[in-house]
Chains A and B, each alone.
Chain A
Amino acid sequence: MAFDEMRDGDLAAATYAEIEAWLARTPLERLRQKSAEAELLFRRLGITFAVYGEGGDPERLIPFDIIPRIIAASEWRALSAGLEQRVRALNAFLADVYNERRILKAGIIPQALVLENEAYQPHMVGFRPPGGIYTHISGIDMVRTGADDFFVLEDNCRTPSGVSYMLENREAMLRLFPRLCARHRLAPVNRYPEHLLATLKSVAPERAGPNPNVVILTPGSFNSAYYEHCFLADEMGVEVVEGADLFVENDVVFMRTTAGPKRVDVIYRRIDDDFLDPECFRPDSLVGLPGVMRAYKAGNVTLANAPGAGIADDKAIYPYVPDMVRFYLEEEPRLANVPTYLCEREGDRAEVLANLEKLVVKLARGSGGYGMMIGPHADADMRAEFARRIQDKPSDYIAQPTLALSTVPTLAEGGIAPRHVDLRPFILFGRQEITMVPGGLTRVALREGSLVVNSSQGGGTKDTWVLEEASPQPAPAQSQGGG
């Protein structure tokens, strides 16, 4: 049985007390009605993600579950300390592998695993970005299997998305259930855009002065996260631009405006490395900006995240993150990894092939839940297929034990039922500080028994409530003695 966050553990009774009472007294039809209201709200605001090439409505809603997922103050305190530590280590790793390569020389990570990795960016060798920061925005995917058992499932150091859902989900909950929200001490999340802007401004080139021109670079309205790009730009009061809105002259980036060209200082790019600059990467990219890498290396513009940051979140590098923490920070890792087999290691491979029915097999360089196999849910044919693929291209695959992801009550077809969840907190790494808003995006696998939470695979989202510490002052008299 999976750990249920409302039923199991010492803290659950206290954190979920109000939710449990609310679910007990609210008729199912009422919940369904609220759920329909939520959908209408998201549809009206145009909060959709684009799915092309699969037929049907190209502008879809990510299903939103109205029952919140709650994290106690003490749990978040431990998690956030671990997240900060992990992001510091990942960033130190990036600075190291593109410069001194100490961790490789010390033999802690096999050299070939890094230097021959597709995600390793030769254009970044010897270049130090402003403040030495590579991973300005990261999303660390966490799963839980027990009261105190949190694991990092994967790191996202390139262009992690989903933060707009975190913000909009809270907005929806405050509108739909103002009283339920008021009965909890919810740690607010709405300052994220402000923190993001401060983070981006902090890494602007010196000459930009106190008010650097920050833009978000999007691949365009056909990108699945386009809504988020616009949402964040709007919240920060900056422009969202496409490659065609920008041009590079004398290694300086300008944007075309109605008042003539305007210099750009920081680009929060939501375009993958490959498409960023046709001069350096894929020459056939139509969404990038030719010459932006020259401008970047000349120190005239800052890119966030840094090109080549993807080597830090590569699934083959992932097993070494705890070692990075020890190596760079000289601390013990606060967050645990899921034990991982690298199929390219012979011993690991034999182990994986012998235990396919128990393991989750993933592409080392995949995302979005595509190209994976969950052993216990796969049939013999599928397992045979994956065994063949692993033997064919062992370095393409990793495997992990199938974790019993924790469950949270969810409004399902047959009523309220436990569904598996994960959590993606967003961590901002600026020149002066690391900031994160409490919580993150909770993704939920809506199908019964499913462990896949990706929105492209039938997953939904929930609002994530981190409860603030009880205030040190005594509670006002009228709320004592029952209530």
Chain B
Amino acid sequence: MLSSTAECLFWLGRYTERAANIARGLGVASRMASLSASLGGDGAEWRALLIASGGEAAFSEKYPAITQEAVVDWLVRDEDNPSGIVTCFDAARRNGRAVRTALTVDMWSALNDSWNRLRKLDLSQIEGEALPEFLDWVRERVLLFNGAAHDTMLRGEAWRFVELGTALERADNSARLLDVRHGMLAVGETAEYAQWQAILASASAGRAYQWVYRDRLEPRRIAELLILRPELPRSLVACFGLVSEILEAIATEQGGRRGECHRMAGQLHATLRYARIEDIFAEGLHLFLTRKIETAAALGAAIEGFYIRA
């Protein structure tokens, strides 16, 4: 496959996933904010979301204060935000259009219809009551796109690069979401039950927790679920496991051609696979997650270096 095609597919996977993650995060934050002024009233939720999306510095240059309106504006429609929902859809479609022939008709329709609909929408109206509905729509469109890819795409290289982008973006997102809230999970900290629920909800993992632990929420278990449980599709170990698996599959198809990215992915997956939550807390959750975020970025660069910019 052309390197440039692989690049577009990889970023198509990343941008669609990012749009859904932002929508998920926004949904949880706005719910938290409306649940209790004492919890979210000081803007902590919005600040956390902003940091998790990685755009705090650019945000502060444009907006005087972290308010709900400002954060929603920034994360939904601000064209200066490379990780905003509208810009993500735009970038996803641009990447998809450039490799239109590598996509199936169903994938393209899911992508193109979303973009057409978004273009016709009055974005200034997306606030207050209309926000949750819009965020659900965004998540549904990405689910449809992922479903179309899953159901219709030939299991060749094109599929693998889309998957690779999706898995890597998801891993990065899970690590960031957890990291901005690491304080609430720290030993001895008495955070509110609702905040723990929020952490799980932002990874769509509330129900999953109950299935795995069948018990009340506990910070350590929440961290374990989101970092170490392979059965949760958004956990770090599951995402990096998938990244490693896909890289191996590509290498096998290319007659065993491997590079630094394969080693890194394998190592990362192995350390997560054999890690214990006690050790992670002993090391410090924040430090652990920061390292994982950095490694994920380095892995992304290594993948691009090997397959795309070689």
Interface residues of A (CB under 8 A from B): 43-46, 221, 227, 230-231, 233-234, 239-242, 244-245, 255-260
- Specify the chain A residue showing the minimal Cβ separation from B257: A259
Main secondary structure of the interface of A (DSSP, over half): mixed
When the two chains form their complex, are residues A257 and B2 in contact, meaning their CB atoms are under 8 A apart? yes
Q: Give Cα distance in the complex from A255 to B5, angstroms.
A: 12
When the two chains form their complex, are residues B254 and A258 in contact, meaning their CB atoms are under 8 A apart? yes
Contact of A256 among B2, B116, B257 (CB under 8 A): B2
Question: How many residues on B have C-beta within 8 angstroms of the other chain's C-beta atoms?
Answer: 24
When the two chains form their complex, are residues A45 and B105 in contact, meaning their CB atoms are under 8 A apart? yes
Residue B78 CB within 8 A of the other chain: no
- Specify the chain A residue showing the minimal Cβ separation from B116: A43
Taken residue by residue from 246 to 268, chain B's Cβ proximity to chain A (1 for < 8 Å, 0 otherwise) reads as: 00001000100100000000000
Chain B residues near A234 (CB, 8 Å)? 100-101
Taken residue by residue from 196 to 220, chain B's Cβ proximity to chain A (1 for < 8 Å, 0 otherwise) reads as: 0000000000000000000000000
Chain B residues near A242 (CB, 8 Å)? 4
When the two chains form their complex, are residues A256 and B108 in contact, meaning their CB atoms are under 8 A apart? no
Contact of A260 among B100, B113, B116, B310 (CB under 8 A): B310
Chain B residues near A221 (CB, 8 Å)? 97-98
Residue B30 CB within 8 A of the other chain: no
Chain B residues near A245 (CB, 8 Å)? 2-4
- Specify the chain B residue showing the minimal Cβ separation from A238: B101
When the two chains form their complex, are residues A258 and B157 in contact, meaning their CB atoms are under 8 A apart? yes
What are 13 of the A-B contact pairs (CB < 8 Å)?
Answer: A43-B116, A227-B100, A230-B101, A233-B101, A234-B101, A239-B2, A240-B101, A245-B3, A245-B4, A256-B2, A256-B3, A257-B2, A258-B254
Interface Cβ pair total, 8 Å cutoff: 52
Interface residues of B (CB under 8 A from A): 1-6, 97-98, 100-101, 105, 108-109, 112-113, 116, 157, 161, 250, 254, 257, 307-308, 310
Q: Give Cα distance in the complex from A2 to B98, angstroms.
A: 44
Q: Give Cα distance in the complex from A54 to B157, angstroms.
A: 39
Chain A residues near B257 (CB, 8 Å)? 259-260
Chain B residues near A258 (CB, 8 Å)? 1-3, 6, 157, 161, 250, 254, 307-308
Known: A44-B109, A258-B254. A230 touches B4 (CB 8 A): no
Chain B residues near A239 (CB, 8 Å)? 2, 5
Q: Give Cα distance in the complex from A231 to B250, angstroms.
A: 26
When the two chains form their complex, are residues B108 and A46 in contact, meaning their CB atoms are under 8 A apart? yes
CB distance from A235 to the nearest CB of B (A): 9
Sorted nearest first, the 5 A-B pairs with minimum C-beta distance are A234-B101, A256-B3, A258-B307, A259-B254, A258-B6
CB distance from B309 to the nearest CB of A (A): 9
When the two chains form their complex, are residues A46 and B113 in contact, meaning their CB atoms are under 8 A apart? no
